[in-house]
Amino acid sequence: MSFDGTLNAADGEESLPELLMRIVSELHDVAYLIERIEPQLLDLGGVSILQSPDSMKVMQGIDLAVQKTRGLAEFIDTITAGIPQGWTVEVATALNLVKLAEMQKALGGGTRHGHSQPLAKAAGDFDFF
């Protein structure tokens, strides 16, 4: 069994605190991606979007989704500090259920830097999946 935070291929176990911190990172990424939606909606709908009660509910829902995602990240981050580094979990099955390759790589301990939707992509670029 390996306690260095890397996936031990022989037994499929990984350090629980390190895995949880990768989940925290992914949650912050999700919050960032959701947060980017709001200005785009304002650009598309103009200021008049703020006058519609239904549109305001959508905008408030976006804010709530960001707050909840960041709250979950902070909660997991805080409780992770109290988990002994030697605690491990089997991750192979769970990783196989993650459909997004970049997220699977990030959660599995691969090195992914930056956000899953880089700002450098030109408008109109897309990925096949």
* Tens of pLDDT, residues 15-37: 999 999 999 999 999 999 999 99
pTM equals: 0.74
Residue 56 in any domain: the answer is yes
* Confidence at residue 7, expressed as pLDDT on a 0 to 100 scale: 45
Residue 119 in any domain: the answer is no
Residue 42 in any domain: the answer is yes
Residue 48 in any domain: the answer is yes
Q: Which domain, by its residues, includes 38?
A: 13-107
Number of structural domains the chain divides into: 1
- Which parts of the chain register pLDDT below 70? 1-11, 110-129
Residue 117 in any domain: the answer is no
* Confidence at residue 46, expressed as pLDDT on a 0 to 100 scale: 81
Residue 7 in any domain: the answer is no
Nearest Cα neighbor of 37 from 14, 65, 17 is 65
Residue 120 in any domain: the answer is no
Residue 94 in any domain: the answer is yes
Report yes or no: 119 and 29 within 8 Å, Cβ to Cβ: no
